[in-house]
Amino acid sequence: MSPDLIFITTYTTVGMQNTAGIMIISHHFMNGFEKEFGWQGTRDISGLLSIRTALEFFELFGWDKVMWHNHHMAVWAQHMLCNRWNTIPMTPLDGRLIGAMATLRLPLRFQHIDEPVREILQQRLYNEFKVEAPLIIWDGHAYVRVSCQIYNRPQDYERLAEAIEKITL
């Protein structure tokens, strides 16, 4: 395949060890260039306008250093959360299968939740604790995914740990 144009997303993929390209077929496929590529799903173009500055920011540190930092922060966060919550990760704790994100089960008391409760829990994390971390129900279990970037600090993940420990259903 040799496309004329390549479109990428930079959401959480910048600075990851293994970045994957994904081709998305437009909702208006075969209706002409403007309709196929004009629909962006949101009117907020700030992400698009900030790509150049974001790339320049990462270049200040060096891409290898950014990837090293993000990976090691994800491995650390995975260890810390698994230990605090006495839970299991989705990938080995040595970090060999993660880049800058780690997914692990929520504590046992959250394993029975359904989608409506997950949505409430997700909102409470943000509203009460100002924590953004996706909560996922998959294969009958509840998980959290942490994403680590150069601007994150260990305290961010410790705040997530504390929030989950404090929340009661």
DSSP string, 35-100: HHHH--S-S--HHHHHHHHHHHHHHHH-HHHHHHHHHHHHHHHHHHHHHHHT--BSS-TT-TT-SS
Q: pLDDT value at position 24? A: 46
List the CATH number of the domain containing 154.
3.90.1150.170
Is residue 48 a part of any domain in this protein? Answer: no
Model-wide pTM > 0.95:
no
Residue type, 139: D
Separation of alpha carbons 169 and 166, rounded Å: 10
For each successive 10 residues of the chain (169 residues), what is the average pLDDT? 51 48 52 63 70 86 92 97 95 93 95 94 95 93 94 95 93
pLDDT (0 to 100) of residue 33: 67
pLDDT of residue 14: 54
Residue 26 lies in a domain: no
φ/ψ (deg, to 5) at 97: -110, 15
What is the span of the domain harbouring residue 134? 63-166
Domain membership flag for residue 40: no
137 dihedral zone (left: phi>0; alpha: psi -120 to 50; beta): beta
